[in-house]
Amino acid sequence: MLKKTIWSFVALVTLAGIVLFVLLQRADTEFLVLDEEARELAPGLFVELSGGWTHYDVAGPESGQVVILVHGFSVPYYIWDTTFEALADAGFRVIRFDLFGRGYSDRPATEYNGALFERQVGDLIDALELDRPVDLIGLSMGGAVVMRFAARQSELVRKVVLVDPMTEASSPPRYPKWIGFPLIALTLIPAMAEGQLTDFLHPEQYPTWVEQYRVQMQFEGFRRAITSTIYAFAAEDHLSHYRQVQESGLPVKLIWGVQDQTLSIDGARTVQSVLDVDFLTVDNAGHLPHVEQAGIVNPAIVEFLQSDAPAAATSGAGLVANLELASFCSRLPRAAYKDLEKSDISNEWFEVYEVGAGIWAIYEPFQWQEVISYLIIGDDSGLLFDTGNGIGDIRAIVDQLTDKPVRVLNSHSHFDHIGGNHQFENILSPSTAFSIENTLGDDSDAVKMEASAEALCVDLPSGVTEANHHIEPYAITSKVYDGDMIDLGGRELEVLLIPGHTDDSVALFDKDAGLLWTGDSFYAGSIWLFFPETDLAGYEQSIDRLAELVPDLKALLPAHNTPMIDPAKLLETQSAFKLILEGKAEAIPDRDGLVMFEFDGFGFLMREDYTTVAGD
């Protein structure tokens, strides 16, 4: 009986092995050998390295700064076509190559781990006799490869660009390799060509992508290389290399497609938590923003590599260090508040005023930005228009003012207006690359300066310090569009998209009450129109639009300094801005390439080259 059981088991295992062998043979597309003959027929160049033959291509002047492009998990070097050409045209000496196991590079019988790919990059630099530090650009898994190399051999690197990079280790398959290799060969590998289309937001625009990918699958060793990479490289601690690069001080630019479904843009938060980067989000792009939005990404890469230093992270209100704060506290209290009754809910950080029926101005007077957020309450729910700079606990104030459900809508996503967003569950927002980028939070020095002694007239709330102040990440739960109506019950608010100050700037219009919330597009003070994200032509159009509403308005409610301003100021703002664009207003030199235009009760702080920018 025992012998019969044993023989039955052996027969079953043998049969399973035969079935598996047959299935593997049927799934096998590897009928070519990557030998000398194959290399002679292939495009590009070859160089023999310690791990085997490497397929590469080179363009651009020999005297140019060398840039090496490292592709991702499986698509070979043609994935860099547009970037390769753009960099060469810009005068760089550009090199792209196929990682081992991909394209026309050899498939060595070894473990495909970080050490193998790091050595391949280093060997390529040696073989091509590159005698000065290179720039490295890595896509997806290639991002992890270049960060490993830059961390361990930083003396050979000048700058790094990461495009939708792999950041964290992934768990290897649960089953051992002797099971995993054939299973992956049977299931994952055959679907990989078609699977590449998920990297695109609009795959229909790339009809030849699948067939182009299949070419490399014909060469023996592709399946083994891919499977080994899944087991070995993907499970490594990539984030430790990001930390090491931070310590080295290498300039790094991070680029991410907003609609990436392969590696979510949430990964940018991970990068920013350990590494200072110059960050670019790219809307209307998936995992390959340099392909789908080449006209945006490639010029940005060229600009970063050509600059003497990485672009400063001065977006938003982060220029506090460059502005004169000495006179700030002397402005307080502002005269406009003497006619308003301060609520008992006010505390050491916030002053709260009821400026209309069910409308509360939540004012932060003792921080130099003097941000005003507004809680607007209807019969059924409330809307919080801005959440301040995140230093005080705005949620505690809101909970004292109402027990109704409250949604948040920001006038725009500069960090002094989104600091408390993370305290709320329902966040409304326009969907722009800028607004999505800012959901990732901000721990930069610019933000920390907002909590510095120079920016304050009182002590910080308990537990908050300059060192620990930052903007927490948050999630947009609903998108808003121009003309949307927000029904609070007995009160309707119209959403007006007014790009200019930023591309996600919003105004709120309560037609029945004759109230207009203007955000940073208008307030009593110096209106800032000098940011990289500012569009002066857009601002002119938006102010014209708001000015048309003046006959129906009783008051303006801005996001800084004072609430309840005469709507006629919008007409003055409209006229003043046209004088500036026509060259008929006096530009007073300010500092750091900025000029001030002063008018009655308001002004504009702009770049000294504003005429050039306005004409773009």
CA distances from residue 333 to 305, 363, 392 in whole angstroms, order as listed: 48, 12, 19
User: Is residue 185 helix, strand or coil?
Assistant: helix
Summary mean pLDDT of the chain: 89
Tell me the helix, strand and coil percentages in the chain, rounded to 5: 35, 20, 45
Q: Report the alpha-carbon distance of residue 563 to residue 33 in Å, rounded.
A: 75
Could you tell me which of 27, 51, 52, 32 has the C-alpha nearest to residue 42? 32
Whether 322 has a pLDDT exceeding 50, the answer reads: no
**Which comes out higher in pLDDT, residue 173 or 504?**
504
Could you tell me which of 443, 433, 474 has the C-alpha nearest to residue 281? 433
Tell me 342's DSSP state. Answer: B
Cβ count near 452 (within 10 Å): 16
Convert 276-329 into a string of H (helix), E (strand) and C (coil): CCEEEEECCCCCCHHHHCHHHHHHHHHHHHHCCCCCCCCCCCCCHHHCCCCCCH
Judged on CB neighbours under 10 Å (0-12, 13-18, 19+), 358 is middle
- Average pLDDT value for residue range 61-77: 96
Provide, rounded to the nearest whole percent, the portion of the chain with pLDDT above 70: 89
Q: Report the alpha-carbon distance of residue 69 to residue 81 in Å, rounded.
A: 10
Q: Report the alpha-carbon distance of residue 590 to residue 610 in Å, rounded.
A: 13
User: Is residue 137 helix, strand or coil?
Assistant: strand
Indicate the range of 58-62, 397-401, 416-420, 445-449 predicted with least confidence.
445-449
Whether 445 has a pLDDT exceeding 80, the answer reads: yes
User: Is residue 47 helix, strand or coil?
Assistant: strand
Indicate the range of 62-71, 208-217, 305-314, 591-600 predicted with least confidence.
305-314
Q: Which two tokens stand for residue 221?
A: 């060793």
The separation between the first and the last C-alpha atoms of the chain, rounded to the nearest angstrom, is 89
- Average pLDDT value for residue range 581-598: 89
Could you tell me which of 192, 195, 148, 188 has the C-alpha nearest to residue 167? 148
Provide, rounded to the nearest whole percent, the portion of the chain with pLDDT above 90: 75
Q: Report the alpha-carbon distance of residue 65 to residue 93 in Å, rounded.
A: 6
CA distances from residue 247 to 150, 155, 241, 254, 511 in whole angstroms, order as listed: 11, 13, 10, 17, 55
Residue 331's pLDDT band (boundaries 50, 70, 90)?
confident
Whether 615 has a pLDDT exceeding 80, the answer reads: no
**Which comes out higher in pLDDT, residue 376 or 236?**
376
Q: Report the alpha-carbon distance of residue 82 to residue 76 in Å, rounded.
A: 14
- Average pLDDT value for residue range 197-201: 92
Indicate the range of 180-184, 221-225, 494-498, 503-507 predicted with least confidence.
180-184
Q: Where is 6: in which H helix or E strand? A: helix 2-27
Residue 122 · residue 94 · CB < 8 Å: no
Burial 465-489 (b: 16+ CB within 10 A, else e): ebeebbbebbebeeebeeebebebe
Which residues touch 457 (CB under 8 Å, ≥6 apart)? 328, 329, 332, 365, 366, 367
In the chain, the amino acid numbered 205 is Q
Is the preceding omega at residue 299 within 30 degrees of 0, hence cis? no
Query: Sign of the CA dihedral 527, 529, 533, 537?
Result: positive
Q: Report the alpha-carbon distance of residue 99 to residue 72 in Å, rounded.
A: 9
- Average pLDDT value for residue range 416-443: 94
Query: Sign of the CA dihedral 242, 246, 250, 251?
Result: positive
**Which comes out higher in pLDDT, residue 110 or 273?**
110
Provide the β-strand partners of residue 362: 352, 373
Residue 62's pLDDT band (boundaries 50, 70, 90)?
very high
Indicate the range of 276-280, 343-347, 490-494 predicted with least confidence.
276-280
Residue 538's pLDDT band (boundaries 50, 70, 90)?
very high
Whether 53 has a pLDDT exceeding 50, the answer reads: yes
User: Is residue 600 helix, strand or coil?
Assistant: coil
Sheet of 506-510, strand order = 485-487, 492-497, 506-510, 515-519, 555-558
Residue 98 · residue 54 · CB < 8 Å: yes
**Which comes out higher in pLDDT, residue 14 or 564?**
564
Whether 72 has a pLDDT exceeding 50, the answer reads: yes
Whether 514 has a pLDDT exceeding 60, the answer reads: yes
What is the radius of gyration, based on Cα positions, of the chain? 29
Provide the β-strand partners of residue 186: none
Residue 168's pLDDT band (boundaries 50, 70, 90)?
confident
User: What does 62-113 look like in DSSP terms, one character per residue?
Assistant: TTSPEEEEE--SS--GGGGHHHHHHHHHTT-EEEEEPPTTSTTS---SS--S
β-strand 506-510 against 492-497: which pairing, if any? antiparallel
Q: Report the alpha-carbon distance of residue 443 to residue 451 in Å, rounded.
A: 12
Q: Which two tokens stand for residue 416?
A: 């002094």
